Structure 1
Amino acid sequence: MSATTKRPRPWTTATLGGMASYLDGATIVTVGMSSVVLQEQFGLSAWAVGALNSVLMLMFATGAVVGGRLGDLLGRRAVYSVDLVIYAVGVLTVILAPNPTVLFAGVVVTGLAMGADVPTSLALMAEEAAEGRQSSTVAYSQTLWLAGVSVVQILGFFVGGWGPVATQILFGHLLLVSLAVWFMRRGVRESAAWQRSRTASASAPRRDLRAVFRRPYGMALLGTGLYFVISGIMPNTVGQFGAYLVVNLGHSTVRVFSLIGWGTMVVGIAIALLFQRLADSPLRRVLLMIGLASLALGPLAAIVGGYSVASLVVLFAMNTIAGTWAGEGLYKVWSQEVFPTEIRSTAQGITFGAARYVMAAFGLFTPTLVQRTPTLFMGILIALGAVATLIGLLWLPRLPQHGLVDANAHEPVDSVRTHKATEDTSTS
């Protein structure tokens, strides 16, 4: 193997790539946690606070679509080694913002750069994974996503009452981590699979953007996109508005929610580690079924329990399971498996973007639904869980796994199996 295609240590690449997910989770929680302080500091209205969080999600979606495509056209490293510098500039702008206009500008830049980093980094993780460990390597990104959320929650617990200084510390954490990861990423080589795809004659038709929407990949794009949108609404909504649910439905306090958050944090990381361990085994389907059941049982428990704090704890626990075993965690794995190298980042950017656009829109209506008709709100989540179950059990497992490549022949697994079957038939 030549020096240009020699792989670095897979888990080193996986960690540096997975830090995109760490920063994704940490950024969302940091902006949400800092909203109260920023509201007072800049005199923001309630609408402006909601808009600040929505802008982050919308820019992430846009960045994912654009960055995902650039990752396929220019290479993983071309995007991967630059976007965190842009991200750091955005975060620094937020820290130094003298007025709301500059604050929003910083959030826009931060969201765009973060969105571009995630699909590109996930593609690199999958392509540089050790043989037979692709799914587990990608699942590792979900563990790091939860780690990012957890670190910000812990920091927020200690500095939450420090006013504007707390906000600077929280965003300062994002700045330092992004610069450290960017520095370490400079030694990561380009994806060997992407390099091969640029010279293979059969790859040219797949590099065309139109290939993403045509057979045989169009159905995979539609299936993974619909699944992520539908299965991701509950984990995203409950995670984003957890404190709001505890205060307005459970008639409790933010402090109680913080205690619940610490408990679900520990459970969440344990769940992510288990998923990471089993992602390449047949037991992944068992986790999928438990996760899909959690999508419906969590909201149902809240309704049956009369929205008591105890019933909301069950909802949060189920939400944690669903988010990893049947939500974003599983979606990330499936996306690597069903798309070939040439369009993997593009396809994932499109589906990531579509999901974040829908989640941002759903979030605008969530507070009103929770206040006026909480049972309708929970009923919508149950219905979405039922639809996700049908897609997750009956559709996506049937998709050809174009992304699983034989390490020696560099052909899709289905193709390798077909050749093998032909050889067996000819020799018998």
Structure 2
Amino acid sequence: MKATISVAMSNYIEAGSIIAIATSLSLWQKEFGIDDFAVGLLAALSANAFGAAAGALIGGPLCDKYGRKFIYTYDLIVYMIGVALAVFAMSYGMLLLAFIITGIAVGAGVPASWTYLSEQAPAGQRAKHVGAAQLAWSCGPLIGFLLAVAVEPLGLLGSRLIFAELFVVAFLTWYMRQGLPETAIWKESNAKATSTNVFHGVRALFSKKANITAIFFLIGVYSFWNIVAGQAGIFMPRVYAAAGVESATEQYLLQALVWGLTVATTYFGFMRLADRFNRRILYIVGSLLGIAAWAVLVFAEPTMPALLSFAVLWGVAAGIGAQAFYGLWASELFATEYRASAQGILFFVARIMVGLLSMVFPILLTSIGLSWLGLILIGFLAVSLVVGAVWAPHTQGKTLQQIEAERYPEDVVAGEPVLDASGLDASGLEARDVEEPVAMKMHF
């Protein structure tokens, strides 16, 4: 349980960083007298986009080469440096540096967390354990927006205090991770490794057709959805303002409602159902709700009932939507030797796409308006819906070893047992040489 919580906290810290930025952008803009492009640059180079993209590209291969535990030893130290700079930022340049450092640390940690949780989880409960990361991620915005409401009267000082809170959480998480065990499946894979090159996994990843098709599938599922979620995460207060909600407190409370529902739906929807209910149907429901949410925002009159409808639909959609399934499928569809590298590359692509739009989002919101910009975002969500609905993989209930053997039959060594979900090989004999995952002993 301690391992699950401390690993999942990477996602809380990532989301908390994004919300700390989102709720402070207007205050920083006023404090330093910067224009909309400079605001977009802060968002684009932060944990929400390019900063996280760079961290993922670095952290993924390091995670595969030196172990999942290796990342957890160092990433939060870098993170604490970044948020400390944000707390004491006295200039635009210092703030930009803080956001970049924080983003790099976040990007390195998140792929490692999904990888670790999936490798430690029993086959029949993998969605439940990977969902813990999504649950923690959802708690980040919920707590972040509630804190923003509480400190809103303090102005920029309140925003600095939110960054200080993230520093404390990061330190406590780093402390909890000391002594964290390495995953058995990575140790077994690493014992067979022959290359000493850090980027060996990246080269091996692109050497197989099965991997390339999985990468395109996951880009379609996650990256297009994340373009929308990324803008909503960091610019939603501005979107609400464009829709007529000028009060910062009301904006933050609407977002707290979104994320409160996301927390509930992640637990009661994804974590409870995705291991035993048809995943394709669950994914389609979440995707359709997301499209419906933005359709309300674009086509309905900007009244409070309409905005509440958006908050409810988008909050529920996010709990059973593309990010939760991405974390699950990205862990299942790649071999152990490059599982984290694959997630690093995918996270890199997703955050680059978010960053490109983030650089101009405030300008587009002002120039073409919410209606036209909203239609573009609905188009991205539609792409994610179609890709996931048509090509959702059949991996439910299978061990990672089984999935790997099915996807890479040419790599299966003759005579080597392939474990099923009960820990037995195809003949029904117990596989005594495989260490029981730590997650088998965990209970939520």
TM-score class normalised by the smaller sequence:
0.7 to 0.9
Amino acid at match of 2:257: G
State the SS of the aligned residue for 1:331. Answer: helix
Name 1:271's counterpart in structure 2.
265
Distance in 2 between residues matched to 1:145 and 1:118, nearest whole Å: 10
Q: Quick check: 2:145–2:253 contact (8 Å CA) kept in 1? A: no
Name 1:123's counterpart in structure 2.
115
Distance in 2 between residues matched to 1:204 and 1:297, nearest whole Å: 49
- Deviations, residues 381-421 of structure 1 (Å, cap 9, x unaligned): 332232222210112326x7899325xx9964677499x99
Structure 1 residue 332, shift from structure 2 partner:
0.7
For 2:137, which of 135, 145, 150 is the aligned residue?
145
Structure 1 residue 229, shift from structure 2 partner:
1.1
- Deviations, residues 192-251 of structure 1 (Å, cap 9, x unaligned): 111100123699999542222232211111211222111222222233322222221235
Amino acid at match of 1:140: A
Distance in 1 between residues matched to 2:182 and 2:83, nearest whole Å: 27
Query: Are the structure 2 counterparts of residues 350 and 108 from structure 1 closer, same or farther at C-alpha, using a change threshold of 3 Å?
Result: same
Deviates more, 1:201-210 or 1:110-119: 201-210
List gaps (5 residues or longer) in structure 2. Answer: 410-417, 429-444
Distance in 2 between residues matched to 1:370 and 1:43, nearest whole Å: 20
For 2:383, which of 371, 381, 387 is the aligned residue?
387
Amino acid at match of 1:212: L
Q: Whose RCO is larger (CA < 8 A, sep 6+)?
A: 2
Distance in 2 between residues matched to 1:396 and 1:356, nearest whole Å: 22
List gaps (5 residues or longer) in structure 1. Answer: 1-10
For 2:277, which of 278, 282, 289 is the aligned residue?
282
After TM superposition, the runs of 4+ consecutive aligned structure 1 residues lying more than 6 A away are: 201-206, 400-403, 420-424
2:218 equivalent to 1:224? yes
Structure 1 residue 252, shift from structure 2 partner:
4.7
Distance in 2 between residues matched to 1:111 and 1:148, nearest whole Å: 15
Amino acid at match of 2:159: T
Distance in 2 between residues matched to 1:366 and 1:51, nearest whole Å: 10
2:301 equivalent to 1:311? no
Distance in 2 between residues matched to 1:97 and 1:251, nearest whole Å: 29
Matched residue pairs, number?
410
Deviates more, 1:383-392 or 1:257-266: 257-266
Structure 1 residue 49, shift from structure 2 partner:
2.4
- Deviations, residues 165-189 of structure 1 (Å, cap 9, x unaligned): 3133111111111111111101101
- Note the 1:59-208 alignment, pairs <5 A: 59-200=51-192, 208=201
Structure 1 residue 348, shift from structure 2 partner:
0.6
Q: CA RMSD in A?
A: 2.9
2:203 equivalent to 1:210? yes
State the SS of the aligned residue for 1:82. Answer: helix
Distance in 2 between residues matched to 1:302 and 1:36, nearest whole Å: 22
Q: Quick check: 2:211–2:334 contact (8 Å CA) kept in 1? A: yes
Structure 1 residue 336, shift from structure 2 partner:
0.9
State the SS of the aligned residue for 1:47. Answer: helix
Distance in 2 between residues matched to 1:327 and 1:417, nearest whole Å: 29
Instruction: Return the structure number with greater helix share.
Output: 1
Structure 1 residue 362, shift from structure 2 partner:
1.7
Name 2:291's counterpart in structure 1.
296
Amino acid at match of 2:202: L
Deviates more, 1:51-60 or 1:88-97: 88-97
Name 1:8's counterpart in structure 2.
none
Tell me the percent identity: 26
Name 1:48's counterpart in structure 2.
38
Distance in 2 between residues matched to 1:41 and 1:391, nearest whole Å: 43
Deviates more, 1:199-208 or 1:148-157: 199-208
Query: Are the structure 2 counterparts of residues 254 and 36 from structure 1 closer, same or farther at C-alpha, using a change threshold of 3 Å?
Result: same
Structure 1 residue 79, shift from structure 2 partner:
1.3
Q: Quick check: 1:246–1:253 contact (8 Å CA) kept in 2? A: no
Distance in 1 between residues matched to 2:277 and 2:245, nearest whole Å: 43
Distance in 2 between residues matched to 1:198 and 1:402, nearest whole Å: 25
Deviates more, 1:375-384 or 1:192-201: 375-384
For 1:344, which of 314, 326, 339 is the aligned residue?
339
Deviates more, 1:389-398 or 1:362-371: 362-371
Structure 1 residue 324, shift from structure 2 partner:
2.9
Amino acid at match of 2:252: S
Query: Are the structure 2 counterparts of residues 51 and 320 from structure 1 closer, same or farther at C-alpha, using a change threshold of 3 Å?
Result: same
